[in-house]
Amino acid sequence: MRRTLLKLTVLALAGLAARGASAAEPVSLAFGVITTTTVDETRRAWEPFFAAMRRTTGLDVRGVYHATYEAAVEAVVTDLVQLAWVSNKAALDCIERANVEVFAQMVDSAGSPGYRALIVTRRDGGLASIEQLLDKPRTWRFAMGEPSSTSGAVMPSYALFVPRTIAPEEHFATLLRGTHEHSLEAVLSGKVHAATYNTEELSRLRERSPQQAAQLKVLWESALIPKDPLLWRLDLPLSVRTRLATYIFGVGKTPEEKVMLKGMFDLAGFQRSANRQLRFVLDIEDFRQRSQVLLDNRMGDAEKAERLADLSERYTRLSRALQGPADPGR
């Protein structure tokens, strides 16, 4: 009898210890969200998602909304956020500098595997073609995204500017950088003649403000870009990652959840992904950086060789990171 009581006591203490370990898990998680329009609009779209996540997982997940891609990357790197929605290029920057990985990818309501970068102008803005924009240096005013914006900067640079040895800062009479919303406003107000945009933002604009959308003319469209990823830190406990994944990959089945996701920039849900999703952006960035070195007349041969060797080492290192095994938490 005493042995039985002793055994029960030991089991009870073990249970308390297990609950104590569970209680030691992070009680508050910060989920970073990039802003393509305005912080207020993004917050309104995502807060219902975080409220539902808190109810379902029991984790205190709060949204952190970044006005710039640079701020979003820094928040991941410095552990101010433990999960994040970022662009493909920003995700690559994070993987290079922090202990994180891609674990999910957005799925839109149309089931599209990706989106496209655009260059748009006003229909009455005087630009008839992309060649007219690119063939006349110091003539046109232009707006584009931050360097970590895949559609706002990376794809246009790779497909248009680098092959033509164009440095946007030197080619355009005026160059503005900011969010897609800033670029749109600059075009519509006449501050610039053309700007980068993307098919996702244009679709939302057609729903939200068809009159504004009708004023735009598309001058150029890129190849398909994979949908944006979600990242999480690998030092999050496995139990926490499992609870998060269960919610994120299960949301979108009820009518209420479908409405909620639709309001989050026309999402239908999330699908599993991994670092290898970023291979395309690594290849694009490597090509862009190598081209800039080779075409830089200010650099001597020795300096170019050293810089190219550095880029080769970076490419090899990041290639290994993108081929890493899937996280067991998924």
Mean pLDDT of 37-49: 94
Based on the number of CB atoms within 10 Å of its own CB, is 11 exposed (0-12), middle (13-18) or buried (19 or more)? exposed
CATH class of 26-112+227-275: alpha beta
Q: How far apart are CA 322 and CA 319, in angstroms?
A: 5
pLDDT digits (tens, 9 = 90+) for 185-215: 999 999 999 999 999 999 999 999 999 999 9
Residue 24's pLDDT is 47
> Residue holding tokens 């995502």?
46
H or E element that contains 320: helix 301-322
Per-residue pLDDT band for 160 (boundaries 50, 70, 90) equals very high
**Residue 15 confidence (pLDDT) above 80:** no
CB contact burial 53-73 (16+ within 10 A = b; e otherwise): beebbebebebbbbebbebbb
User: How many Å apart are CA 186 and CA 175, to the nearest integer?
Assistant: 11
Domain-by-domain residue ranges, the chain?
26-112+227-275, 114-226, 280-322
pLDDT at residue 37, rounded to an integer = 84
**CATH assignment, 114-226:** 3.40.190.10
Nearest of 57, 32, 28 to residue 43 by alpha carbon: 32
Give the number of C-alpha atoms closer than 13 A to the C-alpha of residue 295, restricted to the C-beta side. Answer: 13
| pLDDT tens digits, one per residue of 247-303 | 999 999 999 999 999 999 889 999 999 999 999 999 999 998 998 898 888 999 999
27 confidence band (pLDDT: 50, 70, 90) = low
As a whole number, the mean pLDDT across the chain is: 89
Asked whether this chain's domains 26-112+227-275 and 114-226 adopt the same fold, the reply is: yes
Q: Is it the case that residue 98 has pLDDT exceeding 80? A: yes
- pLDDT > 70 fraction of the chain, expressed in percent and rounded: 90
Give the tens place of pLDDT for each residue, 111-131.
Answer: 887 999 999 999 999 999 999
The pLDDT of residue 175 is 97
For the chain, how big is the Rg over CA atoms in Å? 23
> What 8-state DSSP symbol labels residue 277?
G
pLDDT classification of 324: cutoffs 50, 70, 90: low
Q: Predicted confidence band at 329 (pLDDT cuts at 50, 70, 90)?
A: very low
Strands (E), the chain: 28-34, 60-66, 83-85, 100-108, 114-122, 141-145, 174-178, 194-198, 216-226, 229-233, 267-272
Instruction: Kindly tell me if the per-residue pLDDT of 17 is higher than 70.
Output: no
Whether the per-residue pLDDT at 32 is higher than 80: the answer is yes
pLDDT surpassing 50 at residue 8? no
Q: What is the pTM of this model?
A: 0.81
Task: Tell me which of 146 and 326 has the higher pLDDT.
Answer: 146
